[in-house]
Structure 1
Amino acid sequence: MARANEEVEALLQEYADLIAISGGDAFKARAYEKAARAIGGHPADIAKLDAKGLREIPNVGKSIADKVGEYLHTGHVPVIDETRATIPAGVRELIAIPTLGPKKALVLHQELGVSSVDQLLDAIHAERLRDLKGFGEKTEENLLHGISLMQKAGEGRILLSAALDVAEQITGELSAIPGCERCAYAGSLRRMRETIGDIDILVAADDSAPFMEALGSLPQTAETIAHGEKKTSIRTTKGLQVDLRVLPPVSWGAGLQYFTGSKAHNIRTRAIAVRKGLKLSEYGLFHAKSGRRVTSRTEEDIYARLGLPWIPPPLREDRGEIAAGLAGELPDLVAEDDIRGDLHTHTDLTDGLAPLEDMVAAAADRGYAYYAVTDHAPNLYMQRMTDEKMLAQRDRVRALDRTFRGMRLLHGTELNIGPDGDLDWPDEFLAEFDLCVASVHSHFNQSRRDLTRRLIRACENPHVAIIGHPTTRRIGKRPPIDADFDAVFEACAATGTALEINSHPERLDLRDEDILRAREYGVKFAIDSDAHSTTHLPYLRYGVGTAQRGWLTKDDVVNAWPLTRLRRFLRKG
């Protein structure tokens, strides 16, 4: 189940949006946004904090702490309920559309009476938005695309991180039941897809009844959809469907292979079985004529009998993995243990939530050999960075270097790639950083030509080592920018600039499809957490899963290299 931190984060963010929609104080809305982020990233469970403990969280003052305490005790905050009641539900629905902010939602409601997505679609098709100041044909295109994204995101799919949280809790509970020989999640979750429709849980046991009963009585379970001897389906309190199948232990390997999928991958493996006079199902690999079981206990046995090595789940998408396996050319995929350091993180000097010392200590606890602090540069004006602040931080980083189990600290920055491809500081200032990450943070709607040139100019800067979250997408919230990424990939390969795989579960940017294309150009990659809190550092597992789906090895990933090799790369020739 979600932590109280996450529920309160969502509540305060909603209140910030409601304030903005109703034309309230922009500073007040911003204060609630900051408090929401601080609570969401706070390492302690806020449900266990008293009023004093709540006020000690950054950006949480007495008024906000009182509201949080009220919500934790009663489940409601009257002022938020009252504000919510003054705004039509449809208008609140509008701000869920990627590319449509609260101010424009308010204009649409006040000027056109639009209070639902359907009414907005009607207004767009009737070209009524074009008479409004700040709206036009490009706005209409963006809104239509945003509505499409929202509708896709609403098709019962949730982020990989949320699904893993639920799956790991449930498998932990079921694994403790007597008689459980094996328990694991399967499906698209095991393949580390960026969003998940439902969760498949498998158990190997001789008696299915205790597991079926246990699933229905878990605290996460809101209702039982179907209950049977071989399969039980429940819906969680968050609306996610979980399907549990109990297999005979002898069928474990075949069942795990079958229910992991993908469908296209399974069609390939079944075709190979047919050519060998065999039949493959979730119960095992059998002789087609006699029906005698050939093997079924492990996935390795199944693949070996088909003439294949074991294929890692993230590769099972029918994207050439069968042919590579038959040819002995499957990649040795990068693993989380291969990552030697994180190259993109933030502190409370800019928009992070934890001080430098806490972030460094948390990184050391993860066993990193090196760790980079990359706070925002001055052109992201809301962060109020100055040369003096950055240089003072550099002194603190240098003083901390080698004090945590020999972990080396790198002082870097996340630069803002401006509309023309310009960066925040002149070259002579950039040259003093250990590394520079450069990212697009604004002007997402430039032309394809301008966006492409903007990214390539950043690649060409001799001090930019990594392009951060390259497509800028936020899953279900903001589409990727429209740039010619093949040209960008070519430029990265030519200039020795790495592309980031941003591990934040709302980003996972680059996508696996982009990684596969960029890899063909010879691009190198950095898998980073983009952590803004100590609790964000473990996000790295999601980026590694995405990298695996993109067929990457540790040689492809610069922060899987020893520090000496990484430093040579950072110097860009």
Structure 2
Amino acid sequence: MARPNEEVEALLQEYADLVTISGGDAYKARAYEKAARAIGGHHADVSRLDLKGLLDIPGVGKSIAEKVLEYLSTGRVSMIEEARTVIPAGVRELISIPMLGPKKAMVLYEELHISSVDQLLDALHEHKLRDLKGFGARTEENILHGIALLQQAGGRILIDAATDAAEQITAELSGVAGCERCAYAGSLRRMRETIGDVDILVAADRSAPLMEAFTALPVTAEVIAHGEKKTSIRTTKGLQVDLRVLPPDAWGAGLLYFTGSKAHNIRIRELAVRHKYKLSEYGLFHVKSGKKIVSATEEEIYARLGLPWIPPTLREDRGEIAAGLRDELPELVTEDDIRGDLHTHTDLTDGVAPLEEMVAAAARRGYTYYAVTDHAPNLYMQRMTDAKILAQREQVRALDGKHRRMRLLHGTELNIGPGGDLDWPDDFLAGFDLCVASVHSHFNQSREELTRRLIRACENPHVAVIGHPTTRQIGKRPGIDADFDAVFEACARTGTALEINSHPQRLDLCDEDVLRAKRYGVKFAISTDAHSVTHLPYMRYGVGTAQRGWLTKDDVINTWPLQKLRRFLRPGTH
């Protein structure tokens, strides 16, 4: 379930939006945004902190800290409640639309009295927005796309929230008497980027004690259905969770069936039919005699069908069964293969933790190398200077060796400008161990301009990795419209890696793009883009996306030994 830090982060961000909508002090709005990010990324549980502990969080002043304490003790903040009454609820609903900011939402309300998504759709179809200052045909397209994103997301949630809920529930149920095995299945086990509902499976001889324990969990807000074999609840965060209890000897068949995907299951059942078998959630059976052949493990069932065990992340009917029959399934990259993180930030720019804390947290993860890549000066709000980045380099060099088994790399995340230009000249870039280059603005350039922009960055001899290549934010912002096949070809030609950004809001490149890029011979970096210590464990989601893209550890540069990685990163090698 959501950490208290995340609840407070959402509350403070909402207040920042309310201040912006009402035309309030821009500095105040930015202060609340900064505090929201800092609390969301803080390693300690804010619900256990007193005023002094809250004041120790960067960006949290006394006024904000007092409001956090008020919320944690009462569940509300009077000032935010008052702000909500001033701003119509419909306007707050409009803010949830990707591509529509708070100021434009207020203009729509004041000028056209629009206070719902349906009213906005009507106005768009009647082209009423074009006469408003700051709106136009392109704005209409963007808003329509944002509404489509909102509707497409529906009740789906990001993978990290679903994982947190699933792991908490499976831990609770595993302790119930009679529970022999417990695991989550479905799209979450396949590591899909968004999850509609969570499927939990339990192996037990008696289902009643598990069903009772499930409905009595602290996270249960509503029991949707209660049965002997299946019970469904809605959690306090609005997530539907389905529990199925299987006979212990049917565990493998049930896990295979309920993991899916639907298309993969259809292919498996077709294969079973060709062998004169019938496959269900209870096992693999002879069609004629009805006798059960195997059911206890997935491995046994796949083997009877002439297949090796197929990792859940591949079960999307993308050729995995044909590859399995030819014994050509890839040995997928795992989180244990990752030797280091190549894209992270500190509080020198927009991170919330100091360099020493980020490095120590990386060392605790057992990494053999770790790169610090704060933003460069063309993102002006980060206030980076040559002097600041060089001073950080000295700090990094001084810390290198403090954690014996981990070497430090000093890098930067460059901004790819509208013309493909970068923040620093080549002679300055040559001093970095690693340069990641990313698009952060001007997303609405033409397809040709965006493509040329990315390719020009690839062709810079100092750029080793293109960060979050499509710039998408899941459910909030679509990816840019570039010719990515041309970009993938350029990356393969220049020896530039593409990032799989592990942040659950990005997962960029997505699995389908990874599959396409791999065909060009591109190499990849799985990185977290961590802005706090709590973001470093996001690596698991990037690895899951890489697996869905059929990557092996040879495809991923941060699984390589440091010496091999340095040869790849060294300027002038591509």
In the alignment, structure 1 residue 149 sits paired with structure 2 residue 149: yes
* Unmatched 5+ stretches in structure 2: none
Mapping 1:482-501, distance limit 5 Å = 482-501=481-500
Deviations 1:137-166 (A, max 9, x none): 11111100000001111x211000000000
For 1:536, the aligned partner's letter is H
* Unmatched 5+ stretches in structure 1: none
Compute the displacement of 1:109 (Å).
1.7
Mapping 1:188-207, distance limit 5 Å = 188-207=187-206
Deviations 1:507-531 (A, max 9, x none): 0000000000000000000000100
* Corresponding position of 2:513: 514
Taking the aligned partners of 1:466 and 1:256, their CA distance within structure 2 comes to 38
* Corresponding position of 1:8: 8
Percent sequence identity over aligned pairs:
80
Compute the displacement of 1:123 (Å).
1.5
Taking the aligned partners of 1:272 and 1:3, their CA distance within structure 2 comes to 44
Compute the displacement of 1:223 (Å).
1.0
Compute the displacement of 1:133 (Å).
2.1
Taking the aligned partners of 1:60 and 1:221, their CA distance within structure 2 comes to 33
Q: Secondary structure at the match of 2:452?
A: helix
For 1:68, the aligned partner's letter is V
Deviations 1:389-425 (A, max 9, x none): 0000000000111110231100000000000100000
Taking the aligned partners of 1:109 and 1:463, their CA distance within structure 2 comes to 48
Mapping 1:363-402, distance limit 5 Å = 363-402=362-401
In the alignment, structure 1 residue 342 sits paired with structure 2 residue 316: no
* Corresponding position of 1:536: 535
* Corresponding position of 2:429: 430
Greater Cα offset, 312-321 or 132-141: 132-141
Taking the aligned partners of 1:102 and 1:428, their CA distance within structure 2 comes to 42
* Corresponding position of 2:28: 28
* Corresponding position of 2:265: 266
Compute the displacement of 1:121 (Å).
1.2
Deviations 1:29-77 (A, max 9, x none): 0000000000000111111111111111110000000100000011111
Deviations 1:197-239 (A, max 9, x none): 0010001111111100000000010011111111111110111
Taking the aligned partners of 1:89 and 1:67, their CA distance within structure 2 comes to 22
Deviations 1:477-501 (A, max 9, x none): 0000110100000000000000000
In the alignment, structure 1 residue 81 sits paired with structure 2 residue 84: no
* Corresponding position of 1:449: 448
Compute the displacement of 1:117 (Å).
1.2
Q: Secondary structure at the match of 1:39?
A: helix
In the alignment, structure 1 residue 470 sits paired with structure 2 residue 469: yes
* Corresponding position of 1:39: 39
Taking the aligned partners of 2:557 and 2:240, their CA distance within structure 1 comes to 38
TM-score normalised over the length of structure 2: 0.99
* Corresponding position of 1:254: 253
Compute the displacement of 1:89 (Å).
0.8
Q: Secondary structure at the match of 1:396?
A: helix
Taking the aligned partners of 1:454 and 1:128, their CA distance within structure 2 comes to 34
Mapping 1:270-289, distance limit 5 Å = 270-289=269-288
Taking the aligned partners of 1:171 and 1:266, their CA distance within structure 2 comes to 24
Taking the aligned partners of 1:320 and 1:95, their CA distance within structure 2 comes to 41
Q: Secondary structure at the match of 2:234?
A: strand
Compute the displacement of 1:119 (Å).
1.6
In the alignment, structure 1 residue 527 sits paired with structure 2 residue 526: yes
Taking the aligned partners of 2:86 and 2:436, their CA distance within structure 1 comes to 44
For 2:263, the aligned partner's letter is A
In the alignment, structure 1 residue 53 sits paired with structure 2 residue 57: no
Q: Secondary structure at the match of 1:44?
A: coil
Deviations 1:97-151 (A, max 9, x none): 1111111112222222222111211111111111122211111111000000011
Which aligned segments of 4 or more residues in structure 1 are displaced greater than 4 angstroms? none
* Corresponding position of 2:411: 412
* Corresponding position of 2:420: 421
* Corresponding position of 1:175: 174
Q: How many residues align?
A: 572
For 1:394, the aligned partner's letter is R
Compute the displacement of 1:465 (Å).
0.3
Greater Cα offset, 302-311 or 50-59: 50-59
Deviations 1:265-314 (A, max 9, x none): 00000001101010000000000010000000000000000000000000
For 1:118, the aligned partner's letter is D
Deviations 1:448-470 (A, max 9, x none): 11111110000000000000000
In the alignment, structure 1 residue 136 sits paired with structure 2 residue 136: yes
* Corresponding position of 2:122: 122
* Corresponding position of 1:166: 165
